[in-house]
A and B are shown apart, each in its own frame.
Chain A
Amino acid sequence: MKAIFKREFISLVADGRFWIACCLFTLLVGLSTAISLKNDRAMEHLRGGAQHDLRHEWVSQTAKDPHSAAHFGTYQVKPGTSLSWFDPGLDPFLGTVNFLEAHVRSEFMLRPARDSTSARHLGYLSPAFLLQVIAPLLIILFCFGSFASDRESGTLRLTLASGVHPAALVGGKIVGGLAAVFALVLPSLGVSGIMMMRVSEEIDLARLGLLLLGYGFYFAAIASITLWVSSRVLKSQSALAIMISFWIGMTFVVPRTISDMAAAQHPLPSKAAFAQKIAEETRQGIDGHDPQDARREELLERTLREYGVQRIEELPVNFDAIALQASEDYTSELYQREFDRVADQLEAQAQIVRTTAVLAPFLAIRNWSMAVSESDWAHHRRYAQAVEKYRQELVRRLNTDMIQNSRTGDFGYVVQQDFWESIPPMTYEGPSVRASIEDVESQLGLLAAWALLGIVGCLRASARLRP
């Protein structure tokens, strides 16, 4: 087996095309890493600057009533993660900036994908994209002829005639092929890692390790499946045609089909329909600005009873602010329900994609890579919930101040600048590594299963290996 491993490895790496491909791929990953890191740093700088400016804008507000401040609002920028440069995942599609104001839960803004051409929707030229899409193609191009070319040239006949055990032959070819595959991609990972270390303040070794593990399984899966196909067909051209079809299928056809299928099975409301539903339900609820609303009267009666007074003027609190907060609570609940409904649909779609990753290792590595890099749907939802919680707390604090420190009809009530400063900025702690991969552990299992399938397939094929 050692001789076969050596022969397989050397025959692959001694090919000038291998080194050309290796250099070009390393260059491409290096460029992509440089651009991604630069953009990430720029985004981080912008984010830091923006948050600073926004905070400054918030604390510099002139004296005004707190509810006006709630409408003045503020922006919240999604913090980057240690690996968002490597795999931006869904961030370009879901947005990273959120406007926080009273009564309204806004959508995320700054979605580069929306402003890009449709070609960008195929994927950003991130290091993750290159490793997920381009690396498998190179692996296929270098491994498809492993058995089939030997069969065509006749060397497989002489090899088998030598008395070598077919399992040793296949084992040697698998190990040699995998070693060559890792020789192909490791320089690019090395370059990427060095570039990252030069600019990153902290390196999350656990996440890096998990990424390497996932991609290791992914490359092993592609290489072993290619070798399996090569061992079963008579012509190397057939092996190439089958594997290119597999690559197109797993990279483009299956993800697109699954995504369309998931969207059809769990459809999302249109933006217009969503907005209309919110508007309608808001109208039916307590409108804090409408004194004629029947529910406002009910709230008033309840408040009067609570304070043991007969008339609104006798209340020790500002009933207008109580009504505003009641309206806020109502719309918050409404938004929560509707956003949860949309989020549940998106989660159901994501679940379909996770389940159907059994059909395509590309889907499994994409899900795994995004989750480890904290750029997947689960992480976005978690962040969106944190932002909404902060928004609700912010508005409640503003309204509570009005409720407690002013009286009904006191439209001249204002707070001073120190009040704005007393409201802390939003802080967000990302999920732990364990929490990040909780939903996608199965994806790593699938990648391992694909690799195992290819290896077992090769070894089983060895029993029927014919020249």
Chain B
Amino acid sequence: MGSATETQGPIQSGSAPTCLRAQDLTMRHGASTTLCTLNLEVPAGQVLSILGPNGAGKTTTINLFMGFFRPASGRAEVCGIHVAENPIEARRLLAYIPESVSLYGNLTGLENLQYFAELGGIRGLTFEAGEELLARAGLQESAWHRDCSTYSKGMRQKVCVALALAKDARAMLLDEPTSGLDPFAAREFSGLVNELASQGVGALVATHDLLLAREISHRILILVGGEVKETLPTDGLELGELEKVYLEALAAAPDSERDQL
């Protein structure tokens, strides 16, 4: 298996400060390598999508940035903080939106927001401030004081976005964020992410949704079998062209990797 640097070279940022950086990031599960010398950079205000099929290493990359896994080699950095060495500090700068956001069902959206914000070191988030954040995240007012057990997936994600706002997160990690959302909710969510990016947040989105990747991102990284196959800027990129490159990357993967897809 070759490395990303050999095939493509690291994705370079411009002059904006780097929010997320992977340097020769490698992850192994037992004998198999699930991520091979990944190099990437996400500058402030930009969105980078990792596009790939199931088992490509997208969630592994997110988990490495979260500090949930320790890399076999290489390093993941959040705003210059070495995640493996200081995961707590790194997480405080991050907003994380998993594929399925799980909140405490017996707490209201506002209570969940206050609880998770306090865990993140934000003390004394008042009701008013919390309500304002929920409003900014697009959660309808009628839901603020309702138990989250009644929330849809999109509504739970909005609480997470409100949390990102509360934390004043410098970077975002999104793992299959629109999977299972209806087109309207998916579009609304994409808008929220772009709004955060416009405020200087650097976002890394793991997805296998080509449309989302093209709409939401400044650049796309195609990951197959733990290896970077292509990196594409989305400026002027047609969906058909993206699909063609993606399918070619999949087709070029060895049989053993395609069997996992």
Query: Which residues of A are interface residues toward B (Cβ below 8 A)?
Result: 3-4, 7, 11, 14, 153-155, 157-165, 169, 466-467
Say yes or no: A155 contacts B102, CB within 8 Å.
yes
Determine the distance from Cα of A373 to Cα of B239 in the docked complex, in whole angstroms. Answer: 80
Say yes or no: B102 contacts A165, CB within 8 Å.
no
Which among B88, B104, B167 is the interface contact of A11 at CB below 8 angstroms?
B104
Say yes or no: A158 contacts B106, CB within 8 Å.
no
Within the complex, the shortest CB–CB distance from B127 to chain A, in Å, comes to: 16
Contacts of A466 in B (CB 8 A): 68
Which among B89, B91, B98 is the interface contact of A162 at CB below 8 angstroms?
B91
Say yes or no: A165 contacts B106, CB within 8 Å.
no
Say yes or no: A157 contacts B102, CB within 8 Å.
yes
24 A-B Cβ contacts within 8 A? A3-B115, A4-B119, A11-B104, A14-B106, A155-B104, A157-B68, A158-B96, A158-B101, A158-B102, A159-B119, A160-B66, A160-B91, A161-B91, A161-B94, A162-B91, A162-B116, A162-B120, A163-B92, A163-B94, A163-B119, A163-B120, A163-B121, A163-B167, A164-B88
Determine the distance from Cα of A458 to Cα of B98 in the docked complex, in whole angstroms. Answer: 26
Contacts of B101 in A (CB 8 A): 154, 158
Say yes or no: A164 contacts B120, CB within 8 Å.
yes
Determine the distance from Cα of A159 to Cα of B88 in the docked complex, in whole angstroms. Answer: 12
Say yes or no: A161 contacts B96, CB within 8 Å.
yes
Within the complex, the shortest CB–CB distance from A17 to chain B, in Å, comes to: 13
Contacts of A11 in B (CB 8 A): 104, 106
Say yes or no: B102 contacts A154, CB within 8 Å.
yes
A-side interface mostly = helix
Residue picked from A3, A11, A14, A466, most chain B C-beta under 10 Å = A3
Determine the distance from Cα of A466 to Cα of B87 in the docked complex, in whole angstroms. Answer: 12
Say yes or no: A161 contacts B115, CB within 8 Å.
no
Determine the distance from Cα of A165 to Cα of B91 in the docked complex, in whole angstroms. Answer: 10
Determine the distance from Cα of A34 to Cα of B163 in the docked complex, in whole angstroms. Answer: 54
The 7 closest A-B pairs by CB, nearest first: A154-B102, A163-B92, A163-B91, A164-B119, A162-B119, A161-B96, A162-B120
Determine the distance from Cα of A164 to Cα of B66 in the docked complex, in whole angstroms. Answer: 12
Query: Which residues of B are interface residues toward A (Cβ below 8 A)?
Result: 66, 68, 88-89, 91-92, 94, 96, 98, 100-104, 106, 115-121, 160, 163, 167
Known: A157-B98, A160-B66, A163-B89. 6 other contacts (CB 8 A): A3-B118, A7-B115, A154-B100, A157-B102, A163-B94, A164-B120
Contacts of A3 in B (CB 8 A): 115, 118-119
Contacts of B121 in A (CB 8 A): 163
Q: Which residue of B lies closest to A165 (CB)?
A: B88
Determine the distance from Cα of A388 to Cα of B227 in the docked complex, in whole angstroms. Answer: 87
Within the complex, the shortest CB–CB distance from A167 to chain B, in Å, comes to: 10
Contacts of B89 in A (CB 8 A): 163
Within the complex, the shortest CB–CB distance from B50 to chain A, in Å, comes to: 18
Contacts of B117 in A (CB 8 A): 162
Residue picked from A14, A159, A163, A164, most chain B C-beta under 10 Å = A163
Say yes or no: A155 contacts B66, CB within 8 Å.
no
Determine the distance from Cα of A377 to Cα of B51 in the docked complex, in whole angstroms. Answer: 72
Say yes or no: A161 contacts B66, CB within 8 Å.
yes
Contacts of A165 in B (CB 8 A): 88
Contacts of B68 in A (CB 8 A): 157, 160, 466-467
Determine the distance from Cα of A157 to Cα of B68 in the docked complex, in whole angstroms. Answer: 9
Contacts of B120 in A (CB 8 A): 162-164
Known: A11-B104, A162-B120. A154 touches B88 (CB 8 A): no
Say yes or no: A153 contacts B102, CB within 8 Å.
yes
Within the complex, the shortest CB–CB distance from A337 to chain B, in Å, comes to: 67
Residue picked from A7, A14, A161, most chain B C-beta under 10 Å = A161
Q: Which residue of B lies closest to A2 (CB)?
A: B118
Within the complex, the shortest CB–CB distance from B84 to chain A, in Å, comes to: 13
Contacts of B163 in A (CB 8 A): 162
Determine the distance from Cα of A4 to Cα of B115 in the docked complex, in whole angstroms. Answer: 8
Determine the distance from Cα of A164 to Cα of B91 in the docked complex, in whole angstroms. Answer: 8
Contacts of B91 in A (CB 8 A): 160-163
Contacts of A162 in B (CB 8 A): 91, 116-117, 119-120, 163
Q: Which residue of B lies closest to A167 (CB)?
A: B88
Determine the distance from Cα of A14 to Cα of B102 in the docked complex, in whole angstroms. Answer: 19
Determine the distance from Cα of A306 to Cα of B162 in the docked complex, in whole angstroms. Answer: 107
Contacts of B106 in A (CB 8 A): 11, 14
Contacts of A164 in B (CB 8 A): 88, 119-120
Q: Which residue of B lies closest to A14 (CB)?
A: B106
Contacts of B94 in A (CB 8 A): 161, 163
Contacts of A153 in B (CB 8 A): 102
Within the complex, the shortest CB–CB distance from A175 to chain B, in Å, comes to: 15
Q: Which residue of B lies closest to A166 (CB)?
A: B88
Within the complex, the shortest CB–CB distance from B152 to chain A, in Å, comes to: 16
Residue picked from A3, A162, A467, most chain B C-beta under 10 Å = A162
Within the complex, the shortest CB–CB distance from A287 to chain B, in Å, comes to: 83
Contacts of B92 in A (CB 8 A): 163
Contacts of B96 in A (CB 8 A): 157-158, 161
Contacts of A155 in B (CB 8 A): 102-104
Determine the distance from Cα of A11 to Cα of B107 in the docked complex, in whole angstroms. Answer: 10
Contacts of B116 in A (CB 8 A): 158-159, 162
Within the complex, the shortest CB–CB distance from A5 to chain B, in Å, comes to: 12
Say yes or no: B119 contacts A154, CB within 8 Å.
no
